[in-house]
Amino acid sequence: MLRGDLLQGWEEYEWRLKCDDINSENRNFPQPAWDGTHLNGKSILIWAGQGIGDDVMFAGILPTLSQMTERIIIECNLRLVPLF
């Protein structure tokens, strides 16, 4: 992603959920994972997956995401609540 290859970057980032040794990150929510399609008034849950640094890094996509839906639910470390 840092090199600008977002397609491959997201594919590799998502691969971590398929690895048994780090499968503890996969929370197995009953709702399907977002596939990038328009949300059309649906809610989306953004959950803390790896750590506070990743939460801050990916916060940059929230303004774009907020244009796609009216309701974003964010799970984050308590220290980040003022940021969101």
Is residue 27 classed as helix, strand or coil in its secondary structure?
coil
Is residue 39 classed as helix, strand or coil in its secondary structure?
coil
Looking at residue 23, what is its pLDDT?
47
Per-residue pLDDT of the chain (84 residues), as tens digits, is 667 777 887 777 777 667 766 545 566 788 888 888 888 889 999 887 778 888 888 888 888 888 889 899 998 889 988 887
Nearest Cα residue to 31 out of 18, 45, 17, 19 = 45
Buried b (16+ CB within 10 A) or exposed e, 17-41: eeeeeeeeeeeeeeeeeeeeeebee
